[in-house]
Amino acid sequence: MNFLGIDLGTGSLKVVIVDENGREQAAASVPYALETPHAGWAEMSVQTWWRALCEAAARLPADARQNVEAIGFSGQMHGVILVDADGEAVRPAMLWPDTRALALLDEWPESQPNPVAPGMAGPLLCWIVRHEPQSARKTRWALQPKDWLRVALGGVVATDPSDACATALADPAGVWDRALLDRLELPHEWFAPLAPSYAAGGVLSEKAAQALGLRAGIVLAIGAADTPCAALGSGLAHDGDALLTTGTGGQIVVLAGHAPAAVKGLHRYRAASDHWYRMAAMQNVGVALERVRGWLSYEWADAYRDAFGETGVSAENAAENAADGATDGATENAAGAAAKAPAGLTFLPYLTGERTPWLNPAARGGWLGLALDHTRGTMMRAAFEGVAFSLRAGLDAIRASGANVTALKLAGGGSVDARWRQLLADALNVELYAVDCPNAAPRGAAILGALAKGHWHASDLAALAPGATRVAGPQNDAALAQRYARFLDLYGRVETWFGEDEGEGERS
């Protein structure tokens, strides 16, 4: 008996098959690129997603596919797909990096239970009503990405609390805020009924089964947003369990048994189970390190060596890392624990603005403290530390909210190298545990499929946690702590340079 998990991500679609014991049996991934027809827009044709799903499914072993008993779904958060009464997309999907609705954020009354960003479904739908009335007239449903995919496979029209609460149109529990919909002049009937992430949401249609090489009639779970799916797949099951993921950006998720208090700069959302979670979201991890590498005209192997000391990284491995993406290339073989600590040099990594804790999309970055004796290696090392410090600032916001975080599970492309892990452990002041789960979000989706089928129950989730190995602990580096204090001080001093009007891209 197998279960299929589908993760509809921003840059790729991933599929994973797990067996009846929760062990991964096969996986495949198909990349795609965002479409930007205008500056600040981020869109995607749903046909691109469909083709990626068919291609990814075809890469899975045929016998494993034939034994699939249920499918679960994970999807990128915040975006929205408009479909008509026949289930056809009215226009391309609008996704979370989209900023076209930035000027509409004042429509949300103070204060909101979570920060409101322009790429969330709420602002994007307001933009549609005002600027594309022809699209609005054709719309029957406004769906989140994973919900569109489930419907396309033959499932029911529904959504779950983990996605609904991240639209800026629902209360913290994920229930649609009908008074807010009225205030924004958005039709109530656009919004799908709610169901638990682990509930059954229809069955696979004959047409979809033929396209994917699966059996028709198997159960489709409602599914959840990608962050709670990754938490589920990584084994977060108890109050206080915490996960750090690093990719283009970074996220720190801490599970909570009850609704956390609202804190400016932090998100508090529903989990894929009956839990909640606090989340700090930092935008500049791999994207900042990749750009610094380019500015300094480095090959990755040389950047690692000069930033951290001798690495032993081959040119072939460096090329593979760069091909795998910004975060993998920036951190997977990042070496050495600190031979060239950048005394006096600070790097702010906020090249794309920042969410937690500053809520300032206008924030910008750079080095301060450069001297004649500094080298490219010193600058590169400062960039690695600046990224680690930005993650620490997000974690400090979570700690200030009342969560006592002393250990983090570690996932994501930028979590492989031991010396990068040590820098993170020192900067964050935590014990780090590497999770033996390379595909956490689709694994979490597969678990939801098994729950919908009735193979597992909520009481089984803790036992399904993948193995986790302690890989680093804090070494009480006093000099690093001083550089972190300097980092915070520097941001506070230069924040006004970025302009108050520009800094309203997210609201709490």
- Angstrom distance (rounded) from CA 469 to CA 165: 33
What's the distance, Cα to Cα, between the start and end of the chain in Å?
A: 45
Q: What pLDDT is recorded for position 507?
A: 64
3-state secondary structure of 163: helix
For every residue of 209-255, DSSP letters joined together read: HHHHT--TT-EEE--EEHHHHHHHHTT--STT-EEEEESSSEEEEEE
| Whether the bond into 111 is cis, omega within 30 of 0 | yes
Residues of the chain with pLDDT below 70 are 300-301, 303-304, 310-340, 412-416, 499-508
Q: What pLDDT is recorded for position 177?
A: 96
Sign of the four-CA dihedral 227, 229, 233, 237:
positive
Two tokens at 316? Answer: 């072939």
Number of H helices, E strands in the chain: 17, 20
8-state DSSP, 194: B
- Of 197, 77, 50, residue with least CA distance to 145: 77
- Phi, psi angle pair for 149, to nearest 5°: -65, -45
Which H/E stretch holds residue 368? strand 366-368
- Angstrom distance (rounded) from CA 126 to CA 136: 10
Q: What pLDDT is recorded for position 113?
A: 84
Q: What is the CA radius of gyration of the chain?
A: 22
Two tokens at 310? Answer: 């001798």
190 Rama sector, left if φ>0, alpha if ψ -120 to 50, beta otherwise: alpha
- Angstrom distance (rounded) from CA 363 to CA 50: 36
Q: What pLDDT is recorded for position 275?
A: 92
Q: What pLDDT is recorded for position 22?
A: 93
pLDDT in tens, 360-383: 878 999 999 999 989 899 999 999
Q: What pLDDT is recorded for position 139?
A: 98
Q: What pLDDT is recorded for position 286?
A: 85
Q: What pLDDT is recorded for position 415?
A: 55
8-state DSSP, 261: P
Burial of 23 (0-12, 13-18, 19+ CB in 10 A): exposed
CA quadruple 203, 232, 387, 329: dihedral, nearest 10: -60
Q: What pLDDT is recorded for position 416?
A: 66
- Angstrom distance (rounded) from CA 482 to CA 400: 20
- Phi, psi angle pair for 21, to nearest 5°: -105, 5
* List of domains in the chain: 2-227 (3.30.420.40), 236-436+476-508 (3.30.420.40)
Kind of pairing between the strands at 366-368 and 407-412: unpaired
Query: pTM of the prediction?
Result: 0.85
**Which residue pairs, CB below 8 angstroms and at least 24 apart, start in 198-202?**
198/222, 198/272, 198/273, 198/448, 198/451, 198/452, 198/458, 199/160, 199/452, 200/452, 200/453, 201/150, 201/155, 201/156, 201/158, 201/452, 202/150, 202/154, 202/155, 202/156
